[in-house]
Chain A
Amino acid sequence: MKTNLRTDDLTCPSCIKKIESGIGKTKGVSDVSVRFNLNKVTVEHDDTVTGDELKSTIEKLGYPVKAVKTTA
């Protein structure tokens, strides 16, 4: 499964690392990429994780999430 999350504007390059390692540690996540210039986080994961869980993880790291979309 793949989830795309649109965050608030990312301004610091260190945000990338923070989100990548934060989400990467989540169980069930196989791949995560942060598109800094697009304020977009793409997560590859299995069905043990939901888009909402990913959203709350990113928000806990300090980045408000505007939209979540999960596709099979």
Chain B
Amino acid sequence: MALWFNKHLNKLMYTSGALLVIGLVFLVMGDSAIRDITFILAALVAIGPILQRAWSALTVRSFSIELLITIAVIGALIIQEYTEAGIVTFLFLFGAYLEKRTLAKTRNSIQSLLDMAPNVAKVILDGEIVEVDIDEVEVGETVVVQPGGKIPVDGKIVKGKAQINESAISGESVLQNKTLEDEVFSGSVIDTGYIELEATKIGEDTTFSKIIELVEEASERKSGTEKFLNRFAQYYTPAIVVLAVVVGFISQNVHLAITFLVIACPGALIIGAPVAYVAGIGNSAKKGVLVKGGDTVDRFAKIDTVILDKTGTLTEGRPSVTNISIYNDMTEEEILALSASLEQVSEHHLGRTIVKEAEDRKLKDTDVKVTDAETIKARGVSGIINEDTYYIGNKKLMDEQNITIPEAIINDYISEQKEGQTAMFITKNGEVIGLISIMDRIKEDALEAVNTLRERGAEKLVMLTGDNRYAAEKVAAILGLDEFHAELLPDEKMAYIENEQNNKRKVMMVGDGINDAPALALSDVGVAIGHGGTDIAMETADVVLMSDKLKKLAIGYTMSKSTFNIMMQNTGIALITVVLLLLGVVYGYIHLASGMLIHQASVLAVIMNAMRLMPMNRKDNEEEISVKEAAAS
């Protein structure tokens, strides 16, 4: 029976609507008998599914809106208000129909993410390419992905190369070049190229599945406001029935009591908050920002203090050569090639940085014959080329080797250090010939992100780092941060956060999620920068940025603020509608049918309002600041 009603819901609605129109025609023509019969029929046709739902909700001890409507319509029929009974039932079905259509749109933001999940995989079995269901792929099997194809599982490329769109994972649509040994993620799409990969993670273990799981959970995790409204509705509906009876008794006016029942329906109140969260969380996820639930949205929106880790968060986390000073007649290329040759033996990250820089610049002669190459721990390297002895290293190494450094070069060295650079001397036969500076570059979008955060309401931006003071000072100055604290141990970071919280500040901590895990857990909102999604980061944090772009942080913050605002607006719209309707009824301006119409309009209004949180232009999923600005204001 229930299924039958569901299947024929639209037909019942159309029939009821048609009968109403016929009834209205006879109303104008003044034939009261036929008019009444058509209105009664309209009510009866439409009441079926409403009655059925009211009943099945009652069987699980839940008082539904349908129950209120059913009582009201039966009451209206008894007191011979056939016109109103017909109109109310039709409007209820029609409203439910519109609600379902629009609700599906707000859910689209999540649905479209789910739709990115791959279904089939092409696997090499016994030398032949076989198409199998995604669940049948085993770890270690070789999977083939052709141009335009979706990568079905996480894996490592064993053959071929390709340009890959990883937007399902990171929200970034910039193509990634990947080749042998590189990791690829399920849900990404190959733009051009061809790869064969070895499956490393399958099924629910893939990064994409985990993202989906998190988003699914987030979409159901209720905020405080939602929980309150749900509890409220549980008592509200039966209370309205009782109140209607009381009103009926006191006023001796059944019509008033029935009207009261209909207009007090909590429709907009119940749906207003969830639609906002679903639209907001879904849209954020699509842009590569996972916000874990409505409660996180609320806390995120209220943040006033932002604490940022330095390495890997504000900076790229990959040091690079920023400056080379030369004190003899060699060219920059020659010095770099020479240094790279000597640093070949080095395992230290500074040494690797120099080698990489030379490789990136495609310098030749980086492997000239070096004899007696040797690393000097925590100092640098040494080696002999063509009977010349070279050293590359820090001040300590120079002192130990009794190398005298001219004052001009010392001044260069100090000013480089003050810039936040790590500077290293290059010497040839006891004489300084160059100074090479290395720095972890500030992320391109860091300044923009910091400014956006400030604009959106973050009052205090602080950098906490374990790194040295010079490096920290420089970064803080460039980004215009309010405070920075350097050379901190993890527990000192925690103490700082606790102190801020004791001062009634709402603290957000942004870090790479692994060594910052305790601080992330302690703060009001922990944001992990987890490119490709490291497991620990994704689990401990409240918000996960799916790429290392800091811009995502600003997007998430803006989006949460907008979502919170829309949620509040919706709750406001719902409450004001109910109050106005009640007043309208009491003072006799509003009757059954008009009350129903306004009530349904308010339900649609809150859904439409939530739709403002969704992307307007699907192609442009990077920047929608203007849309969000509209929602935020």
Q: Which residues of A contact B (CB under 8 A)?
A: 8-9, 11-14, 17-18, 21-22, 35-40, 59-64, 71
Contacts and interface: CB of A to CB of B under 8 A. Distances in A.
B62 A38 contact: no
Given A36-B220, A38-B216, A62-B56, A9 B3 contact: no
B220 A61 contact: no
Contacts of A17: 57, 60, 62
Contact of B5 (A22, A40, A62): A62
* Most chain B CB neighbours (cut-off 10 Å) among A11, A17, A71: A11
Contact of A12 (B3, B7, B53): B53
B408 interface: no
A18 B56 contact: yes
A38 B99 contact: no
Contact of A14 (B6, B57, B100): B57
B60 A64 contact: no
B110 A38 contact: yes
B146 interface: no
B479 interface: no
Given A14-B57, A63-B6, A40 B62 contact: no
Contacts of A21: 60
Contact of A18 (B57, B100, B114): B57
Nearest 4 pairs of A and B residues by beta carbon: A62-B2, A14-B62, A37-B219, A14-B57
Nearest to B212: A38
B64 A14 contact: yes
A9 B60 contact: no
Contacts of A13: 230, 233, 270, 274
Given A12-B53, A14-B57, A14-B64, A37 B230 contact: no
B417 interface: no
A35 B52 contact: no
A11 B219 CA distance: 15
Given A11-B103, A36-B274, A38-B220, 17 more contacts: A8-B6, A11-B99, A12-B64, A13-B270, A14-B62, A14-B64, A18-B57, A18-B59, A18-B62, A37-B219, A37-B220, A37-B274, A37-B278, A40-B216, A60-B2, A60-B3, A62-B53
B135 interface: yes
A18 B5 CA distance: 17
A52 B233 CA distance: 34
13 contacts: A9-B104, A11-B103, A13-B270, A14-B57, A35-B220, A36-B220, A36-B274, A37-B219, A37-B220, A37-B278, A38-B219, A62-B53, A64-B3
A43 to B, nearest CB: 15
Interface in B345-372: none
Contacts of A11: 96, 99-100, 103
B103 A35 contact: no
Contacts of B5: 62
Given A40-B216, A62-B53, A9 B6 contact: no
A38 B107 contact: yes
